Chains A and B, each alone.
Chain A
Amino acid sequence: MNNDSKISPLSICFLSSFLYRSFYIIGLFNLIISISKGDSIFSIIIGILLGLIVLYSYFYLNDKLTKDNIFIKISKSLPKVISDFIIATLIILFIFICGFTLYNLSLFVNYNLLNNINILPISTLLIITVIYLASKGINTITRVSGILIFTFISLVIISMITLINYSDPNNIYPLLTNSFLSIYEGSIYHMVLSVTPIFLLLIIPKDRIEDNKKYNRYMLITYIISFVYILINYFLILSILGIKLTSILNYPDIIVLQKVSLLNFVERIEDLLSFKLMFDGFLFLALASFYIKEGILHLFRMKPNKKLILVVGLMILIVSIYFKITNIKLVLYLMTAILLIHFILMILIRKKS
């Protein structure tokens, strides 16, 4: 496949819809619930609105120097020493975030699909798949996301049709019992952890996108649809389990999926349905690995090298197994740093232009 061939805007939109949910199953949902409790729904809504600022900064950076990816943009806009420092920082931050994602995704697989298996084989198998996908380039990653979105939608339809019967809206009450500060804190966390991964898409130069005049509009529509789904899913979980039970469970999504039964005889399909929760982290890892590889190539002025992606995968695996990061608040700080870097970049590029 030609690595410079055009990419359909729709497949990038599909990919972005997975990126918004990258951290949901591996900690974001529980984090928001623990902070905003019964008022998490307001945190998510405010977080979605605040996320539009992040989306705007993505559009802004994407619309400048449209022939180049983010690393070339940084190099062209800033002095060499500063640009190299920023690129290196971005690479290191994403390696740690990928380490967290890989480790927690492995824990999720171990908890739900396997039973007390060593984490290393699971992480290794996951990272091998991720590396294979990332080594095929951005075209393949976006096409895979196009295939996965249809699988995802069918699994969502199957689960929602059944779960709607278990839903009791009374379970979400009482509302507005927490301080505005905790709601606001939850919304900031939601904005940072759900919308910031969108900056990974800056690795795709805008000129490589087909029919890119309408691209921003498509992305905005995808943003709205993705978060409407997240809100519906949140409402469904809370209306079935209630806030107190939800807050003590590791993976409330899975507990809810255990109730799915098709025509009263197809039961115990939560393992199959839980795959929909893994796609997000998997595609995040694939895109981030590709992003890190491109960053290293640019930073060290290397020629395209097929083996580099193996090194990236190995680095992520080592970080994942060695540091065993399970605290999502640490990832929150790393993601906040990434967000701030992009905001500063936006200001610097605007000044220069």
Chain B
Amino acid sequence: MKYVKLMIVFLISITLTGCVSYTELNETAIIDAILIDKTDNKYIVTINMLTPTKDDLEEKKTYTSTNESLDKCLSELYLSTTKKIAFSHLELLAITPNIQKEELKEIINLFLNRVDSRNTFSTIVITNQEKLFDYDVEDINELIDINHNERGIVSIKQFDSMIKDILEMNISYVPRIKIEDELVIEGYQSVYEENKLLSIDESIGYNFITNNMKQGLLNINDIGIKLNTSNTNIKVNKNKIDINITSSYQILNNNENKSDKEINKSYHEALEKYMNEFIDNNKLNYFDKLVEKYQYDYYKNNKDLKLEFDIHITSTKIENSNIKGGNSFE
């Protein structure tokens, strides 16, 4: 009986360890960035493959495939890399402005159906994409993050968050980057139902509206203002949208020696301008969603919503000396 048990243990150890369909690590293509473009009805997929080298560094190689479908592109890439493509370490998905609604649907389905995709990677729209892979993926993500914290133009858009926006609003706003001599942030690009680049003011306005404004350096009528805190509270009453912004700011330079009252007025006008720029020039799916969420009965009976906006701004000026660790420019 003892030998029978030993035999069973031996058989289990060699038959049930999953060694039948294994993939060696060096036969796996670890991808950290993927670029998807479409021209002449053909997808152009470029991947950035990482290969660990003996001296603990990562060697990077890019491979490109052109085909009618994304699946065929990936199959081709499998042949050209001779490795099984793994999305588990994907950090960046870059799409070009050529990617429209139908293509985006295909991309979303591709990643949702991939078991190895974590869907928490950041998504960007890129123009002049030829030199994208000259930059580190981490640098691109860091650039967006720093921009969010310092200028407040765009913030990182994770892939699952983009899907959520598309499912709920039919539209999502993704950071758009241009490559010239260096990486330049252009603003948000709307994707799915509408494909357009938002201006810098519209992008800042969108961040204010969605309470996604952390800090920002604003240049208002030659006065340097640093936004310290901002909190947006939106109240919905039928088709009336009340946007209340409570913020605090700090004056960095005031060369024309304007009074506090004047600066405060200019600051309020600037914030209102940012938001009105967004409201006047873009589809208002975000607000439609809010009406649907909080005034469902009204939304159900009034499909053609004519929204009315009321913007209130409350602000506090912070003296430079009151800011912990803040630099004084006076």
Give the B-binding residues of A (Cβ under 8 A).
111, 114-118, 121, 124-125, 128, 170, 173-174, 176-177, 241-242, 244-245, 248-249, 255, 258-259, 268
A217 to B160 CA separation, bound complex (whole angstroms)? 44
> Which residues of A are found within 8 Å of B18, using beta-carbon distances?
114, 117, 121
> Which residues of A are found within 8 Å of B37, using beta-carbon distances?
none
* Contact, CB under 8 Å: B294 / A173: yes
Most central of A116, A121, A170 by chain B CB within 10 Å: A121
* Contact, CB under 8 Å: A177 / B12: no
> Which residues of B are found within 8 Å of A258, using beta-carbon distances?
118-120
A268 to B293 CA separation, bound complex (whole angstroms)? 33
Most central of A115, A170, A241, A255 by chain B CB within 10 Å: A115
* Contact, CB under 8 Å: B116 / A241: no
* Contact, CB under 8 Å: A174 / B16: no
* Contact, CB under 8 Å: A245 / B167: yes
> Which residues of A are found within 8 Å of B12, using beta-carbon distances?
125, 128
Point out the residue from B23, B116, B119 that lies within 8 Å of A255, measured CB to CB: B119
8 A-B pairs with CB atoms under 8 Å apart are A115-B116, A116-B21, A125-B16, A128-B12, A174-B292, A177-B296, A245-B164, A248-B112
Point out the residue from B115, B160, B167 that lies within 8 Å of A111, measured CB to CB: B115
A258 to B168 CA separation, bound complex (whole angstroms)? 21
Q: Does B15 contact A (CB under 8 A)?
A: yes
> Which residues of A are found within 8 Å of B168, using beta-carbon distances?
242, 244
Interface residues on chain B, number (Cβ under 8 Å):
23
Q: Does B143 contact A (CB under 8 A)?
A: no
Q: How many Å from the CB of A330 to the closest CB on chain B?
A: 25
Point out the residue from B16, B115, B293 that lies within 8 Å of A170, measured CB to CB: B293
* A-B contacts besides A176-B296, A242-B164, 12 pairs, CB < 8 Å: A114-B18, A115-B23, A115-B115, A115-B116, A117-B18, A121-B17, A125-B16, A173-B293, A244-B164, A245-B167, A249-B112, A255-B119
A170 to B119 CA separation, bound complex (whole angstroms)? 22
* Contact, CB under 8 Å: B16 / A118: no
Q: How many Å from the CB of B156 to the closest CB on chain A?
A: 13
Q: How many A-B residue pairs have CB under 8 A?
A: 51
> Which residues of B are found within 8 Å of A174, using beta-carbon distances?
292-294, 296
Q: Does B20 contact A (CB under 8 A)?
A: yes
Nearest chain B residue, comparing its CB with the CB of A267: B120
A124 to B11 CA separation, bound complex (whole angstroms)? 13
Q: Does B200 contact A (CB under 8 A)?
A: no
In order of increasing CB-CB distance, the 3 nearest A-B pairs are A173-B293, A244-B167, A174-B296
* Contact, CB under 8 Å: A259 / B120: yes
Question: Assuming A174-B294, A174-B296, A248-B112, is B15 touching A255 (CB within 8 A)?
Answer: no
A116 to B17 CA separation, bound complex (whole angstroms)? 14
A245 to B17 CA separation, bound complex (whole angstroms)? 35
> Which residues of A are found within 8 Å of B17, using beta-carbon distances?
121
Q: How many Å from the CB of A42 to the closest CB on chain B?
A: 15
A-facing residues in B3-21 (Cβ within 8 Å) = 12, 15-18, 20-21
> Which residues of B are found within 8 Å of A249, using beta-carbon distances?
112
Nearest chain B residue, comparing its CB with the CB of A177: B296
> Which residues of A are found within 8 Å of B294, using beta-carbon distances?
173-174
Nearest chain A residue, comparing its CB with the CB of B118: A258
Q: Does B163 contact A (CB under 8 A)?
A: yes
Most central of A245, A249, A255, A268 by chain B CB within 10 Å: A245
Q: What mask results when residues 97 to 123 of chain B are scored 1 for a CB within 8 Å of chain A, else 0? A: 000000000000000100110111000
Q: How many Å from the CB of A281 to the closest CB on chain B?
A: 19
Nearest chain B residue, comparing its CB with the CB of A176: B296
> Which residues of B are found within 8 Å of A177, using beta-carbon distances?
296
A248 to B33 CA separation, bound complex (whole angstroms)? 25
Nearest chain A residue, comparing its CB with the CB of B114: A115
Nearest chain B residue, comparing its CB with the CB of A110: B115
Nearest chain A residue, comparing its CB with the CB of B294: A173
A-facing residues in B250-299 (Cβ within 8 Å) = 292-294, 296
A-facing residues in B159-203 (Cβ within 8 Å) = 160, 163-164, 167-168
> Which residues of B are found within 8 Å of A248, using beta-carbon distances?
112, 167
